[in-house]
């Protein structure tokens, strides 16, 4: 009987998670640390916060993600914030991520901390950051100042907790050079092959050889360039995250529900 009850509870939990997963925003592509789905920040404010948080990530490996939505619907903001932390993988292998989630129409805030930062940013500290930095500014509709003050307090609270390993800042960005390098190498090889065909074709069938190579060269080159624009170099949908303001990408972090909330 106990096993049956346990299975029922497990089934209900899975169903509940499947439902809440629908309201969790998809991980942005390209990935960013500032994700203003509610549209309460100006482009300049978003870029300023993004640069600040990317620099912090690069130097410490701690990732602070700002997410704004209109509403979390019928779900607790705490559950949605934790869902974002886990689904996006905010933080790295040390689970050193933080999500600041704001539901604008609900007037609710939640700071969700990863396992690795629960010591540096305990629930009481997260609550103080909301009460002292976010709530007063949000009541004055100064959202940028609230986020700026809150992230500064988080950075101060977690000071010295982690240091980024050597080369961490370049993760996910090295593919840009390799993509261009492949194109250059491909062009050189292509011209060598074409010159070989062109030189050997003068004795017989040279016209066909040169015509074939002249038509084939641009075709191959076009395909190479086309692949590069959709792959690892352009940042539009591939490995290089330059389109996301220099952010190297989320590292697979997780959390267990630590954090605090508030309203304004």
Per-residue model confidence as pLDDT tens digits over 192-235: 655 655 554 444 443 333 434 444 444 344 444 443 433 332 33
Q: What are phi and psi of 12, to 5 degrees?
A: -65, -40
Highest mean pLDDT among 65-69, 158-162, 165-169, 215-219: 65-69
Q: Establish if 62 belongs to a structural domain.
A: yes
Reading the block at residue 177, the tokens are 């050079």
In a domain, 183, yes or no: no
261, 111 in Cβ contact below 8 A?
yes
148 located within any domain: yes
- Residue 178 counted as domain residue: no
Q: What is the dihedral of CA 74, 75, 77, 80, to 10 degrees?
A: -130
Which residue range forms the structural domain that includes residue 90?
33-166+253-263
CATH of the domain at 112: 3.10.310.50
- Provide mean pLDDT across the span 148-160: 97
* Domain presence at residue 101: yes
The total of structural domains in the chain comes to 1
19 vs 85, higher pLDDT: 85
pTM: 0.68
Q: What is the DSSP letter of 133?
A: I
Residue 89 lies in a domain: yes
Tell me the C-alpha distance between 119 and 112, whole Å: 13
Q: CA–CA separation, 117 vs 102, rounded Å?
A: 20
* Residue 158 within a domain: yes
Domain for residue 229, yes or no?
no
> Which pLDDT score is estimated for 209?
36
* Average pLDDT score over residue span 21-44: 94
């Amino acid at each position: 009987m106990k096993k049956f009850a346990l299975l029922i509870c497990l089934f209900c939990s899975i169903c509940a998670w499947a439902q809440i997963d629908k309201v969790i925003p998809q991980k942005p592509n390209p990935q960013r640390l500032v994700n203003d789905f509610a549209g309460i920040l100006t482009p300049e404010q978003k870029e300023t916060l993004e640069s600040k948080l990317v620099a912090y990530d690069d130097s410490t490996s701690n990732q602070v993600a700002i997410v704004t939505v209109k509403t979390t619907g019928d779900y607790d903001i705490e559950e949605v914030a934790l869902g974002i932390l886990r689904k996006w993988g905010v933080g790295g292998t040390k689970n050193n991520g933080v999500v600041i989630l704001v539901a604008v129409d609900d007037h609710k805030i939640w700071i969700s901390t990863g396992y690795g930062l629960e010591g540096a940013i305990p629930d009481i500290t997260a609550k103080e950051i909301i009460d002292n930095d976010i709530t007063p500014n949000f009541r004055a509709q100064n959202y940028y100042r609230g986020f700026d003050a809150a992230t500064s307090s988080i950075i101060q609270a977690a000071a010295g907790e982690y240091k980024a390993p050597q080369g961490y800042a370049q993760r996910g960005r090295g593919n840009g050079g390799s993509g261009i390098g492949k194109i250059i190498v491909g062009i050189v090889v292509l011209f060598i092959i074409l010159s070989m065909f062109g030189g050997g074709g003068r004795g017989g069938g040279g016209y066909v050889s040169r015509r074939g190579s002249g038509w084939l060269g641009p075709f191959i080159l076009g395909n190479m360039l086309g692949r590069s624009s959709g792959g690892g170099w352009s940042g539009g949908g591939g490995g290089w995250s330059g389109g996301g303001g220099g952010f190297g990408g989320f590292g697979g972090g997780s959390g267990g529900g630590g954090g605090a909330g508030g309203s304004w």
